[in-house]
A and B are shown apart, each in its own frame.
Chain A
Amino acid sequence: MIIRLFDLQFARLKRQKILYLFFAVMTALILSNALSCAGGSEDAGMGYYAGGKFPTMCMQSYIDIVGTLFLGFVSAVLICGERANGMFKQPLLNGVSKKQLLLAKTGSIFAVSLLCFMFVVLCSIGTGFFFWGDQIFDHAQTYCLQMGLLLFPLTTLVLFFVFLSLYMSSISGMLCASLIILLVNNLFSQFFGAYISYFDFMYYLYAFSGYNGAELAGRIILSGILVSVITGIILAYGIRIRINRMIL
């Protein structure tokens, strides 16, 4: 049953034009970044990311607001939108439980997040190779590590958006709440990084992508993984409780 539900969700996602639009927009953004880097001097800021550091820069611009807000948008469309249209009831009438339905939705949102993230990484490496040739592999070890580590907070972020979507009644409300949360988090990450690193998994979206030139120290890696996993477990528990209490 759950496999069929996954298939259904993926088929629905494949039909979403917004996904293809997102890929087109990200390609344009990466190309524009590459042109700025190629034209900028090292002192002017953009030039610093030319060559081997280019994928890191693209990851940062994806994580900053575009990617995270897009994930919020996908969650809002798949959960808030369908719930508001009464489309949640249909699978339940065919013998699917609420838990299975939400599991399939969470799985498909996670797959979208992974797909978008991989697209950004591969596209940035491809574009970088086109502009700077072999130089793009100079810092391969660093950005591969960043990529692997970013999967932890990204997974927790998906759970967070699913959790938020279960409480919000409309797409606009959900996106507005996501925007506020992301901006507040950005603010706190800038000013109170040392304090919020103990409990805020979103801080690690910035820390792991090397924001403000932050180095990846062993302590940060360990605490980032721990905070993301623990928050993920709490969120999964919260989602379970909400699903049980939810009236469709």
Chain B
Amino acid sequence: MRPLTRLYAFKMYRQKLIYIFFACFFTASFFYAFLISTPQMEEMLNIDIGMVGRENFPEFMMRFYVGTVGILFQVFLLTLFICEEDRNKMLCQPLLHGESRSRMMQAKICVAVSMAVLFVLLTALINYTTAFMRWGDAVFEPAALRRTAAKYLLSGVYMSVVTLGITALCVCTRSTWKTICFAVIYLLLDSLICDSSIPFLQKIWVGYYTNLYLFTYEYQQIPLRAAGWGISVMALYGLLFYRTSLCRTQNMAF
């Protein structure tokens, strides 16, 4: 690992908010695992524990992170990591020590993307831990385990692309509140497009595939065709965002 990447990684993982967030996520997962199985809760929350419990529980809990909550959390962290550093004149510091702009941005992107994937894997670990505490070995039913692992990996790909998009936004706007605004607009557009009945628009929309994996193929195997098409679209968006971030960094006036 390059020294600059290591430095950025240390800086990112020193954020106490990350640990607080995942401690809260663990608490939420724990409560859901133990309390939704009571008849009153089942009725109040309008869920069928026979469906969302046991081997399906980690998949059920995935939607609490992948989507609005996870994206908002990433936006707040990345604005802290890029926009706030830019405002405090910290972004140009590596340039004074002989680093190039693209190497600096590549290091930031590397840390941000690995963080996005790591967070999805961490939610998987948390959900499996609480599910194991509640239902024991039953959560590791092989077919469900393979299916859920594939969904978590696809969600990891989606969150990485979203992270690349937020990074591009941070570099383009160079303002915390503008980035947050655009992210909220993206979330609203995402829900509108996913609920709409315009198949062409849905096919080329980056957020549609996660919606498809999480809701349309809920507790079912994802067809290879849908997974492949989704990964291709997401990879295209990712590449576009990556190139945009690098290009804009070259034109930044510090």
Q: Which residues of A contact B (CB under 8 A)?
A: 18, 21, 25, 28-29, 32, 65, 69, 73, 77, 81, 84, 170-173, 175-177, 179-180, 183-184, 187, 190-191, 212
Interface contacts beyond A173-B80, A180-B24: sample of 5 additional A-B pairs, CB < 8 Å, sorted by A: A25-B184, A65-B68, A171-B176, A176-B77, A191-B31
How many angstroms between the C-alpha atoms of A26 and B110 in the bound complex? 36
Is A25 a contact partner of B188 (Cβ separation < 8 A)? yes
- B177 pairs with A179, CB closer than 8 A: no
Within 8 A of A (CB), among B1-49: 17, 20-21, 24, 27-28, 31, 35, 41, 44-45
Complex interface residues of chain B between 208 and 248 (CB less than 8 A to chain A) = none
Given contacts A25-B184, A25-B188, A171-B79, contact A179 B176 (CB under 8 A): no
Q: Choose among B45, B83, B192 the residue that contacts A190 (Cβ–Cβ < 8 A).
A: B45
A72 to B248, CA, bound (A): 30
**Residues on the B chain within 8 Å of A73, using CB:** 177, 180
Q: Which one of A29, A172, A183 lies within 8 Å of B80 (CB-CB)? A: A172
Q: Which residues of B contact A69 (CB under 8 A)?
A: 72
Q: Which of B166-181 contact A (CB under 8 A)?
A: 176-177, 180-181
Q: Is the CB of A170 within 8 A of B80?
A: yes
30 A-B pairs with C-beta separation under 8 A: A18-B177, A73-B177, A77-B177, A84-B87, A170-B84, A170-B176, A171-B79, A171-B177, A171-B180, A172-B76, A172-B77, A172-B79, A172-B80, A172-B83, A175-B76, A176-B17, A177-B17, A179-B69, A180-B17, A180-B20, A180-B21, A180-B24, A183-B69, A187-B24, A187-B27, A187-B31, A190-B44, A190-B45, A191-B41, A212-B44
A21 (CB) vs chain B CBs: closest residue: B181
**Chain B contacts of A171 at CB under 8 A?**
79, 84, 176-177, 180
Query: Known interface pairs A183-B24, A191-B35. Does A176 touch B188 (Cβ–Cβ under 8 Å)?
Result: no
The main secondary structure of chain B at its interface with chain A is helix
* Cα-based distance from A32 to B190 in the complex (angstroms): 13
Q: Report the minimum CB–CB distance from A177 to chain B (whole Å).
A: 7
Partner pick for B27 among A29, A172, A179, A184, CB 8 A cutoff: A184
Query: A34 → chain B, closest Cβ, in Å?
Result: 14
A-B pairs, top 8 by smallest CB distance, nearest first, are A176-B76, A172-B80, A172-B79, A171-B176, A172-B76, A176-B17, A187-B28, A175-B76
Known contacts A170-B80, A172-B83, A179-B72; A81 and B17 CB within 8 A of each other? no
A84, closest chain B residue (CB): B87
Given A18-B181, A179-B73, A190-B45: A184 and B176 interface contact (C-beta under 8 Å): no
- B153 to nearest A CB, angstroms? 25
A184 touches B24 (CB 8 A): yes
Instruction: Specify which chain B residues have a CB less than 8 angstroms from the CB of A84 in the assembled complex.
Output: 87
Residue of B nearest to A186 (CB): B28
**Bound-complex Cα distance A108 to B27 (A):** 36
Nearest chain B CB to A135 CB, angstrom units:
25
B-side contacts of A172, CB under 8 Å: 76-77, 79-80, 83-84, 176, 180
Known: A21-B181, A81-B177, A190-B45. A179 touches B28 (CB 8 A): no
Most buried by A among B41, B77, B177, B185: B177
**Could you say which of B31, B180, B188 has the most chain A C-beta atoms within 10 Å of its C-beta?**
B180
Give Cα distance in the complex from A18 to B184, angstroms.
Answer: 11
Of A81, A170, A177, which is in contact with the most chain B CB atoms at under 10 Å from its CB? A170
Q: Return the chain A residue nearest B87 by Cβ.
A: A84
> Which residues from B are CB-within-8-Å of A81?
176-177
Contact of A175 among B27, B41, B45, B180 (CB under 8 A): B180
Q: Which residues of A contact B188 (CB under 8 A)?
A: 25, 28-29
